Amino acid sequence: EAGVAQSPRYKIIEKRQSVAFWCNPISGHATLYWYQQILGQGPKLLIQFQNNGVVDDSQLPKDRFSAERLKGVDSTLKIQPAKLEDSAVYLCASSFQLTLNTEAFFGQGTRLTVV
Amino acid sequence: DAKTTQPPSMDCAEGRAANLPCNHSTISGNEYVYWYRQIHSQGPQYIIHGLKNNETNEMASLIITEDRKSSTLILPHATLRDTAVYYCTAAGAGSYQLTFGKGTKLSVIP
């Protein structure tokens, strides 16, 4: 079974530039998550989708971050404009459905460096 | 969601059992306890989860206390490849979200 695919693996941009990350979840998984992981900390949830609808985006900095999952499959996360503090690993995860008795599968992440 | 507390780091000798504790004293009745681990430069990997009963799979065992206020993840025979950060988290109905703290950095020593 193919895992969660993310691209690119690494990205370096200057502050105030824009950047986009792409995620393709495991086939058939309805729930998709984006997490931000700053060095030395645990992952922090940014947004959660169920199919193509947003379940929770309360921790997404909406002035600069946006995410979409238009067809309920793959998803993109965008930052515009980027700040130095956005340097982090951005992780995408998916799970089969929105229930408790199931696990989430994570991609390898995109490491963003803002200079 | 319940707040979890874990020791920041632990060492374990290779071949011995690694016992990783987690305190979740504010856990509610419908919240599951989940354990994930993150090996350097990789995304978190699911290990095991449980509600009330002890659970075992091919990777580990999960022991949950009767009052559900704490749990222990047991890796029965730790190997060098088990060196990772281990996260304990709880998720309940209504959010179905995994909230991660800083976890426990487990170092398996040869």
pLDDT digits (tens, 9 = 90+) for A10-43: 999 999 999 999 999 999 999 999 999 999 999 9
Mean of pLDDT values over A67-81: 94
Q: Give Dmax (Cα) for chain B.
A: 44
pLDDT bracket for residue A1 (50, 70, 90): low
Note whether B103 contacts A: Cβ–Cβ < 8 A. Answer: yes
Residues of chain A that touch chain B, judged by Cβ-Cβ distance less than 8 Å: 4, 31, 33, 35, 40-45, 48, 55-56, 91, 93, 98-101, 103-109
Q: What is the pLDDT of chain B when averaged over all its residues?
A: 92
pLDDT for the residue numbered B103 = 95
Per CB-CB distance under 8 Å, the chain B contacts of A45 are 97-99
Would you place residue B25 in the very low, low, confident or very high pLDDT band (cuts 50, 70, 90)? Answer: confident
Contact B88, B71 (CB under 8 A): yes
Q: Where are the beta strands (DSSP E) in B1-110?
A: 9-13, 18-23, 32-38, 45-50, 55-56, 61-64, 70-75, 84-91, 104-109
Please say if the pLDDT value at position B99 is more than 90. no
- Asked which of A62-66, A102-106, B106-110 is least confident by mean pLDDT, the reply is A102-106
- Average pLDDT score over residue span B105-110: 97
Q: What is the pLDDT of residue A98?
A: 65
B88 confidence band (pLDDT: 50, 70, 90):
very high
**What band does B29 get if pLDDT is binned at 50, 70 and 90?**
confident
Percent of chain B with pLDDT strictly greater than 70: 95
Sign, CA dihedral B5-B7-B12-B16, equals negative
Beta strands in A38-109 (DSSP E): 44-50, 53-56, 65-68, 75-79, 88-95, 105-106
Which 4-43 residues of chain B touch chain A by CB within 8 A?
30-32, 34, 41-43
Please check whether residue B98 touches A, CB under 8 A.
yes
Q: Specify the pLDDT at position B20.
A: 98
Mean pLDDT of A41-52: 93
Closest-CA distance of chain A to residue B54, Å: 15
Section A2-8 average pLDDT: 94
Residue B98 has pLDDT above 90, yes or no: no
Pairing of strands A44-50, A53-56: antiparallel
CB contact under 8 A, B102 and A41: yes
In percent, how much of chain A has pLDDT > 70? Answer: 96
pLDDT value at position B95?
61
